């Protein structure tokens, strides 16, 4: 399959491939839209089964970032980067320097930040070679640094909104939440859920992550192959996407799905499948926008953690509006969220044209 007829290429503005022989860097940067501003989205470092899988991932993720930034009301378009991880090119300052130069070559059309497989230290190395980066360490109380806790906060608030809608409860106290993936975001989310009185079922393919969360919180570990089907009130996917499929959805017991993972739905039909089973789905790019909200405040400067928190507090209201529309129209929540995002993008594009 070629790039231009790739199923996920639709509406992308640009796709850039980068290699650097001395460091072994292989990276793809996808720019889906700059209608609302420069394309912003994290950089993911992952071991893919094939280059084709990496391409599919970055295309889906970049489009999701366009929608996420639009619904969150941020002055950003959508983009994403993936670095193909390989034993021949392990993490190094030199590798991230090469990636930083790649980002810089786009002259601000793409702004990068932390995602799966990356850390604040990695972003610091990238930031030494480009100004188009966010997620750098902060020490004065201003916005910035690791976006994971902010993503977790938004997801937690979104879970509260979802359980109120579907279960009629004002909090997660006494509920069981199954968290798939307890790395960066999942780890912080578990702490928030525990503090609010929820019982936790957790799964992760990384044993170190499981050991860390088990040492800090009372959790029950579930096999990664079974966590989606756990006997829980809420399922919170916080690992990779493409998990809600025609094969998995019929076996899910949770009444609410609300988590941090991007692209949770395998296809557009899967949102309808969840709706038919009366499972309330919180659209991923709506509920997990806390991290990019923090990134936006940091990148544009003159902001504070209090302002970041204030903007993240708007996430439950957006979800409630989508839930209400779903109840009124009978349409799936993901379809309604997509419609909202496209309307905002179109309106923003027209405003940019008018001011040009």
Residues annotated catalytic, as ranges = 80
Q: How far apart are CA 311 and CA 290, in angstroms?
A: 8
| DSSP-assigned states of every residue in 216-231 | HS-EEE--TTTGGG-S
Close Cβ partners of 42 (under 8 Å, ≥ 6 residues apart): 80, 81, 112, 113, 114, 115, 116, 118, 135, 147, 291
Tokens for 129? Answer: 């070679």
Q: Which residue is associated with the tokens 């609302």?
A: 36
Q: How far apart are CA 301 and CA 307, in angstroms?
A: 11
Q: Helices (H) and strands (E) in the chain — how many of each? A: 12, 12
Cβ atoms 54, 28 nearer than 8 A = yes
Exposed / middle / buried, residue 305 (Cβ in 10 Å: 0-12, 13-18, 19+): middle
């Amino acid at each position: 399959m070629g790039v231009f007829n790739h199923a996920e290429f639709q509406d992308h503005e640009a796709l850039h491939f980068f290699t650097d022989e001395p460091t072994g860097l292989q990276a793809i940067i996808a720019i889906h839209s700059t209608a609302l501003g420069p394309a912003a989205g994290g950089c993911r470092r992952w071991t893919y089964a094939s280059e084709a899988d990496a391409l599919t991932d970055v295309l889906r993720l970049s489009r999701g970032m366009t929608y996420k930034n639009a619904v969150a009301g941020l002055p950003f378009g959508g983009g994403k980067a993936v670095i193909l991880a390989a034993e021949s090119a392990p993490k190094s300052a030199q590798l991230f320097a090469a990636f930083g130069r790649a980002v810089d070559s786009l002259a601000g059309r793409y702004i990068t930040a932390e995602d799966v497989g990356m850390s604040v230290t990695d972003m610091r190395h990238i930031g030494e070679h480009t100004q188009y980066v966010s997620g750098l360490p902060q020490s004065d109380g201003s916005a910035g640094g690791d976006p994971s806790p902010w993503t977790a906060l938004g997801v937690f608030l979104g879970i509260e909104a979802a359980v109120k809608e579907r279960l009629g409860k004002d909090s997660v106290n006494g509920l069981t939440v199954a968290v798939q993936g307890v790395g960066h975001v999942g780890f912080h989310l578990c702490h928030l859920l525990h503090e609010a009185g929820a019982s936790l079922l957790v799964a992760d393919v990384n044993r170190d992550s499981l050991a860390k969360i088990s040492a800090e919180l009372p959790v029950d570990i579930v096999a990664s192959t079974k966590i989606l089907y756990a006997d829980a009130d809420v399922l919170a996917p916080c690992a990779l996407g493409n998990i809600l499929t025609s094969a998995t959805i019929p076996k899910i017991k949770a009444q609410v799905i609300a988590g941090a993972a991007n692209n949770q739905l395998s296809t557009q039909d899967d949102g309808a499948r969840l709706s038919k089973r009366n499972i309330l789905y919180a659209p991923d790019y709506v509920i997990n926008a806390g991290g990019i909200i923090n990134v936006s405040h940091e990148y544009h400067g003159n902001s504070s953690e209090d302002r970041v928190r204030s903007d993240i507090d708007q996430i439950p209201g957006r979800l409630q509006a989508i839930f209400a529309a779903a109840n009124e129209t009978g349409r799936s929540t993901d379809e309604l969220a997509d419609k909202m995002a496209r309307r905002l993008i179109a309106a923003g594009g027209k405003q940019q044209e008018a001011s040009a």
